[in-house]
Amino acid sequence: MRFGRKGKLSPHFIGPYEIVKRIGKVACELKLPSEMAMVYSVFHILMLKLYKLDPSHDLTHEEIEINEGLSYEEELVHILDRQVRRLRIKDVASVKVLWRNHNTKETTWEAKKDMKNRYPHLFPIPGVC
């Protein structure tokens, strides 16, 4: 589990961070920001990805608040699609959700009633224009 999320919603990479020193043949110590003080700063080189500086890359990013359990609250940005699946005895409504800090390849299908409870402003009231 990365930052309290499993599966599609967990970030694949975070950073870039500066390598402070190499430890042995297969580990590196990184210079992590103070809000990540609870994360051990030594990583195996296979967990790191080389970043090549490119002026066209926008490295400004939104601040993600991380709580003590190294998790953060996902924010719904947009509902991309809706569907109703017929099970044996009932219909299950789902919505395809785009989350903040994730690209369109990382959208997920969520239960409509759960999303309606968490984000009522995104679901219009029936009969009201």
CA pair distance 17, 116, nearest whole angstrom: 38
Neighbours of 52 (CB within 10 A): 5
Pick the CATH number of 76-122 from 1.10.10, 2.60.120, 2.40.50, 3.90.1570: 2.40.50
Segment 55-59 long-range contacts (CB within 8 Å, at least 24 positions apart): 59/16
The answer to whether 97 and 108 have CB atoms below 8 angstroms apart is yes
Dig out the tokens for 108 from the structure.
Answer: 């997920």
Its pTM stands at: 0.42
The answer to whether 27 and 40 have CB atoms below 8 angstroms apart is no
Dig out the tokens for 52 from the structure.
Answer: 């090549």
pLDDT at 11: 66
Domain residues of the chain, as ranges?
1-73, 76-122
Nearest in space to 63 (alpha carbons), one of 38, 30, 35: 35
pLDDT at 20: 92
pLDDT at 29: 92
The size of the chain, in residues, is: 129
Q: How far is CA 125 from CA 38, 106, 121, 128, in A?
A: 44, 28, 9, 6
pLDDT at 103: 79
CA pair distance 85, 59, nearest whole angstrom: 40
Mind listing the pLDDT tens digit of every residue in the chain (129 residues)?
445 556 666 666 777 888 899 999 999 999 888 877 788 889 898 888 887 777 776 666 666 666 666 666 777 888 888 899 898 888 989 999 888 877 778 888 888 888 888 888 777 766 554
